[in-house]
Chain A
Amino acid sequence: MRIAITFRRVMAVAVVAGGACIAAYAANHERTASPTPATLAVTTKSDAAREDYEMGMKDREDLLYIEQGTDYMRLAVKADPHFALAHAALAYFTTDPVEEKRELELSVKNLSHASPDERLLIKWLNGTKDGNLVPAIAAMNDLLAKYPNDKRLANLSAEWLCSGQQNFERGEDVLQKVLKNDAAYYPALNNLAYCYALSGRVNLAPALMERYVRLLPNQPNPEDSYGELLRMAGDYDGAITHYRAALKIDPKFTTSQLGIASTLALMGDEEAARPEYSKAVEMTSDRATKLNYRMLMALTYYRAGQADVARKQFTDLATEAHQADLAIQEAEAQRTMALFNTDTAAALTDIEAAEGTLSEKHVVAPEARDVELATIEQTRAFIAARANRLDATQKAFDTLKTLAASSRNNLIQQSFHSGNGALLFLAGKHSEAISELQYDPRNPLSLTLLAVVQAKAGATADAHATLETLAAIIDERVETAFAVPQARAGLKAAADVVAPQPATTAQSNGHRGGPM
C-alpha cells in the first residue's frame, strides 16, 4: 500500500486486513523489532505483545505492509488483552468497521493499563475515529512536543494531517523537520511525496521517490508508491513499470497488482484490466477486500459502456455482500448502480435500496454507517438535482442535515454541504449553491454540479476551471468513473468549437486516457 491512509472515496476499495500469512512473510523479510530510541514507551506485561506491537508498527507504518502490520497488531492484543494502546492502534488501522468498533471500546476499557503519554496517543487515535477532533489535535501536538525525536510518531501525525485532514502545510512542516534530522528516514520521504502530490505539486514527488527507492532497494512499497504517484500525474506507462518492479520484489504485494489493474482500467483498457483484477482478488484472503476488488472489476463494464453487464455484476455482488453480512459493500454496490442508472426514477429506487440496506440490522460501526449513508444521500441529491426533482433532493438534504448535526466527520460535513448546494441550486440561489458546493472540492459529483451552477450563474470562466479540475482527477472512485469522462468530453467539445484542430492522440505523448 502506498500510504497508510488514503482519503476516503479515492479508494472505494478498503483494504480490509485479515488472514495474511505472517509466518511465510516473516521468513522472507529480515527485520528487527527493537524500538527506536527516544520514542514513546509502550506498556504491556507481555513481551510477545510488545514485540508484535513493534512489528505491527514497523510493517504498517514504515514498510507499508498494511495487512501484515494490522495482523501483528491483532496478535498483540491477543497476547495482552489489556494492551490499551494496541487496541487503539488496531482500531485506527483496521478498515473492518466491526473490528474498529470493538477495538475502540476495548482501548477505552483498558485505559487504566496505559501510561499518561499512551493515553494521550490513544486520545488522538480514537479522536480521529469518533470525531472528537479538538482534544485529539491537542493530544497529538502535546506528544509531538514531548517526543521531538520520535520519527514514527511524527510520521504518523503527518500522514493523518496530509491524507486524513488535507492540512498539507502542517503535514509538510512535520515531515520536513523529521527529514532535516534524518534525511534517510524513508517513511517520511514517502509521506512527503504524497503530501506534495495531494496538494497539487506532484512534480516534486519523483525526486523523493528516487531517494525512497534507493534507500529500500529490496522493498516493494517504494516502487508501488512511485507507480501510484506517476499514475496521479497521468503517466500510466511509468506507473505500470513501477508496479511491476514492486511485484518482482514481492509477488504477493497485492496493492501493486491492484495498481496494475486499476491503471489499465483508467487507461481505458478494460479488457486487460479484468484479469489483473482477478489476480488481485486471488492474492487477498480477506472476504471484504475480495468483494471490494471485485466491485472495481465490475466497474470496468460501466467504464466500457456495458451498463447491462455491469448492473448484473453489481446486483450479484450486492446479493453476495448481503449473504456475507457486509452491509457497507452491499449498499455501495447499490449506490453504484444508482449513479450509473440513466433512468432517474429507477436510479432513485436503487438509492432507496442502498439506504434500506443500511437501515437493516447489521453489525457496523456507527461512524462507518453514517459516512456511507451520507455518501448515499449525497448521490441521491446529485441524481435528483440534475433531474430537477425537488422532492428527492429535499429528502436527501433532510437526512444529511440530521447526520451533519450530530457528526463532526469531515466527509459527512462535506456531503451535507454538497446536498445543501444541490437544494439551493434547485431554488435558484446560485451564489449560495456555489459556496456550499465549494466545501466539497474533491468530490466529482459536487464538482459536476458546481460547474453546472456556475454556468447558470453566468460565471463561464469559473465553470470551465471547475471542469478542468474535475477532468484532472485520476483515481479509482465510482464517482470519478462516472463524472470525469463526461467532463473531459465536455472540455474537448468546447475546445473543438473554439479552435478546431487536427485530432491529437493521447499516445502522442506516451500516455493514454489522462487528463485534458
Chain B
Amino acid sequence: MTKRVLICSLVLAALASAVYAADLAVIVNPQNPVKSMTLAELTKILKGKSPSWPTGHNITIVLRDGDSPMLKLVAEKIMGVGADDARRALSDPSRKATAPVVFATTDEDIVKFVGSNSSAIGFVDVYNITGAVKVIKIDDKQPFDPGYVLKAH
C-alpha cells in the first residue's frame, strides 16, 4: 500500500462517518395497544409528567446508559436538553415510584426488556429491533419515513 492509499482511507473515513445515521425507534410491547403518539406526549413521558399508559399501568422507560449517541438523541430531540441534563433528570430517585427509568448497556437488552414487559417503552437504533417489540409512530411517522422526527444526523 502506498501513501495515496492512506490518504484515500482517511478521507473516506470522514465520508463514512457522515453516512450512517440510524433513526431512533420507539418501541413498546406488542400487547400494548398504543400504536402512535405525538412528540409532545413522548416528551411528557420522559420528563415524568405523564407516568402512565391509557390502561392505567405505570410506564417504565428503558434506554441506553453512558455516553451513547442514542441517549444524546433522546435528550436533544425529545427532552430538549443536553445529554448530561437528561441523564440527571432521568436518574432522579424521586421518579422511581411513578415513572421508573431503566438504563441498559445494549440495544439487545432494551429489546428483551420491552419484549417481556407490557408497560415498558424503549429507545433503540431501528436496526436492532426484533419481532418481539412493536415500533410506534411518532407524530404519525415511523423510522425511515420522510420527516421522521427522531432521525439522527
Contact = CB atoms under 8 A, between A and B. Distances in A.
A501 B19 CA distance: 35
B86 interface: no
B129 A168 contact: no
Interface string B114-153: 0000000000001111111101000000111110000001
Interface in A167-208: 167-170, 197-203, 206
A267 interface: no
A509 B4 contact: yes
A161 to B, nearest CB: 7
A407 B145 CA distance: 7
Q: Is the interface of A mostly helix, strand, loop or mixed?
A: helix
Contacts, number: 129
Nearest to B137: A134
A510 B2 contact: yes
A465 B17 CA distance: 13
B13 interface: yes
A46 B25 CA distance: 41
Contact of A404 (B127, B130, B146): B146
Given A168-B20, A441-B15, A235 B5 contact: yes
Contacts of B2: 234-235, 509-511
B22 interface: yes
A141 B15 contact: no
Contacts of A516: 7
B1 interface: yes
Nearest to A199: B16
A469 interface: yes
A165 to B, nearest CB: 7
B16 A200 contact: yes
B16 A168 contact: yes
Q: Among the interface residues B9, B25, B133, B142, which one has the most CB atoms of the partner chain A within 10 A?
A: B9
B18 interface: yes
A139 B8 contact: no
A469 B20 contact: no
Interface in A294-315: none
Contact of B142 (A134, A202, A232): A134
A439 B20 contact: no
Given A134-B142, A202-B9, A408-B144, A142 B131 contact: yes
B11 interface: yes
A480 interface: no
Given A134-B143, A134-B144, A438-B153, A233 B129 contact: no
B131 A468 contact: no
Nearest to B15: A469
B140 to A, nearest CB: 12
A10 to B, nearest CB: 13
A438 B18 contact: yes
A6 B13 CA distance: 18
Interface centre among A198, A203, A435, A471 (most CB of B within 10 A): A203
A141 B8 contact: no
Nearest to A202: B9
Contacts of A416: 146
A483 to B, nearest CB: 14
A486 B4 CA distance: 19
B40 interface: no
A12 interface: no
A407 B128 CA distance: 22
A34 to B, nearest CB: 30
A202 B8 contact: yes
B20 A202 contact: no
Given A134-B144, A405-B146, A472-B11, A203 B130 contact: no
B11 A509 contact: no
A141 B146 contact: no
Contacts of B12: 197-202, 472
Nearest to A514: B4
Interface string A127-146: 00001011001110110010
A278 interface: no
Contacts of B144: 131, 133-134, 408, 410, 413
B6 interface: yes
- 9 pairs of A and B residues whose beta carbons are closest in the complex: A200-B13, A200-B12, A472-B11, A408-B144, A200-B16, A233-B5, A441-B18, A199-B16, A166-B19
Interface of B: 1-20, 22, 25, 126-133, 135, 142-146, 153
Interface of A: 120, 131, 133-134, 137-139, 141-142, 145, 161, 165-170, 197-203, 206, 232-235, 404-405, 407-408, 410, 413, 416, 435, 438-439, 441-442, 465, 468-469, 471-474, 509-511, 514-516
Given A202-B12, A234-B4, A413-B144, 4 more contacts: A141-B129, A200-B11, A233-B5, A511-B2
29 contacts: A131-B144, A134-B135, A134-B144, A138-B133, A141-B131, A166-B19, A167-B20, A170-B127, A198-B16, A199-B12, A200-B14, A200-B15, A200-B16, A201-B13, A233-B5, A233-B8, A407-B146, A408-B144, A408-B145, A435-B153, A439-B153, A442-B19, A465-B14, A471-B11, A472-B8, A474-B8, A509-B4, A510-B2, A511-B2
